[in-house]
């Protein structure tokens, strides 16, 4: 076995013993949303949507209405109280078509 493969096998065994086996299976829509998150959101929101990122707050469980307002308009829905007072996130028109799958992943 090559060194990289041996290292990966050792890591997988350690994770399995620690109770961190295979991640939960995602629906095809949620998996597509995960890919969108990794490509478009990770830099600011961080690798785990349940944790605050370096520039933006955690967004796990974010309502679709919030995602639509932030991604489409760069605004907040009426009556929404932001977690942070910054207005760093610009509208992201390239992501609008993927809001549904992103919401599915974050749910």
Tell me the pLDDT tens digit for each residue of 19-43: 454 567 999 999 999 999 999 999 9
Residue 23: per-residue pLDDT: 62
Residue 84's pLDDT band, with cuts at 50, 70 and 90, is confident
Domain 26-106 sits in which CATH superfamily? Cytochrome c-like domain (1.10.760.10)
Q: Where are the alpha helices (DSSP H) in 41-89?
A: 42-45, 64-68
Q: Which of 20, 51, 47, 44 is nearest to 34 (CA)?
A: 47
Residue 87: per-residue pLDDT: 80
For the entire predicted model, the pTM comes to 0.75
Choose between 97 and 21: higher pLDDT. Answer: 97
d(CA 58, CA 53): 7
d(CA 39, CA 25): 20
Residue 107: per-residue pLDDT: 95
Rounded-to-5 percentages of helix, strand, coil across the chain: 50, 0, 50
CB-side exposure of 7: number of CA atoms within 13 Å? Answer: 3
């Amino acid at each position: 076995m090559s060194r990289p493969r041996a290292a990966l096998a050792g890591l997988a065994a350690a994770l399995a013993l620690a109770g961190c086996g295979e991640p939960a299976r995602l629906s095809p829509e949620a998996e597509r949303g995960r890919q969108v998150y990794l490509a478009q959101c990770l830099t600011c929101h961080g690798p785990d949507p349940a944790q605050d990122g370096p520039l933006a707050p955690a967004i796990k469980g974010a309502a679709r209405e919030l995602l639509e307002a932030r991604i489409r308009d760069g605004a907040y829905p009426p009556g929404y109280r932001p977690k942070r007072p910054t207005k760093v996130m610009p509208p992201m028109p390239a992501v609008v078509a993927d809001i549904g799958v992103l919401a599915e992943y974050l749910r």
